Amino acid sequence: MKTIGARPVSGALMKIAVAVLMALPAASAQSTPDLESVLKQMDATSANFRTADANFTWMQYNALVNDVDLTQKGKIFFRRTGKGIQMSANFTEPDVRQVIFADGKVQVYQPKTEIVDVYDATAHRDEFESFLVLGFGGGGHDMQKSFEVKYLGEEKVDGVTAAKLDLIPKSAGIKNHFEHILLWIDPKLGLSVQQKLFETSGDYRLAKYSEIRTNQKLNDVVFKLKTSGRTKTVNH
């Protein structure tokens, strides 16, 4: 692959980067009995977590037009290795795109433009990974170090009776972009079947996960970009 000079980071991607890379302070929190049982199940899942894969639908709601202005679909993969967490998301709709996080680096490949955008996350790798696995292999009590967590009862999500959690960031930097996050946790899996991230602008992002599988063997090729000889790399 060829390498060309860096381009400015888009506002949307910068917002995501701030949200996932901001250092998060540790603190204690009180747990209700119902919340404690959910957190313990998430801890148990995290302790035995090796891999996960699922189909996803991500919807971006635009408060200005009071409607969903973007719906993305695809398949997502997670794998825990001795070096940390790896993630690969293959978008199939509306455009083909691949996003990979591995070894402290985020790569975004768009076949239509034949460009790979590379972002270095090594300086805040631990914080990035903790945000990445939020509700997807991360420990429940570890989550309380970064968020005030409230139990909101049970709610049906596509046939699953899920525990609904409300997360309020403890970091002022995160609060500047995300007011709070809702997680719907499958009590049997200890994983998130739905997430809703509320932005300070009034917009929100809704993520739904289905056909979730855990601890299945994943081929190394899943975590590699499928590029061509014409692909150019842009380092940010």
Query: What is the structure's pLDDT at 135?
Result: 75
Q: Could you read off the pLDDT of 136-167 as tens digits, one per residue?
A: 778 889 888 888 999 999 999 999 999 999 99
Do residues 109 and 116 touch, judged by C-beta distance below 8 A? Answer: yes
182 falls within a domain: yes
Q: Tell whether pTM > 0.85.
A: no
Coil/strand/helix, residue 163: strand
Does residue 4 form part of some domain? no
Q: Name the 3-class secondary structure at 146.
A: coil
Instruction: Please indicate, yes or no, if residue 14 is contained in any of the structural domains.
Output: no
10 within domain boundaries: no
Does some domain include residue 159? yes
Q: Is residue 25 part of a domain?
A: no
Q: Which domain holds residue 74?
A: 35-235
The one-letter amino acid code at 56 reads: F
In this structure, the chain runs to a length of: 236
Residue 11 lies in a domain: no
Please tell me whether residue 143 adopts helix, strand or coil conformation.
Answer: helix
Judge residue 123's burial from the number of C-beta atoms within 10 Å of its C-beta, 0-12 exposed, 13-18 middle, 19 or more buried: exposed
Q: Evaluate whether residue 161 is within a structural domain.
A: yes
Residues 6+ apart with CB under 8 A from 139: 42, 43, 46, 47
DSSP 51-90: EEEEEEEEEEEETTTTEEEEEEEEEEEEEEETTEEEEEEE
pLDDT of the chain along its 236 residues, tens only? 544 444 444 444 444 444 443 322 233 334 455 999 999 999 999 899 999 999 999 999 988 888 888 899 999 999 998 877 888 999 999 999 999 988 888 899 999 999 999 988 777 666 666 666 677 778 889 888 888 999 999 999 999 999 999 999 887 767 777 899 999 999 888 899 999 999 888 999 999 999 999 999 999 999 999 998 889 999 98
The CATH number covering residue 197 comes to 2.50.20.10
Domain count, the chain: 1
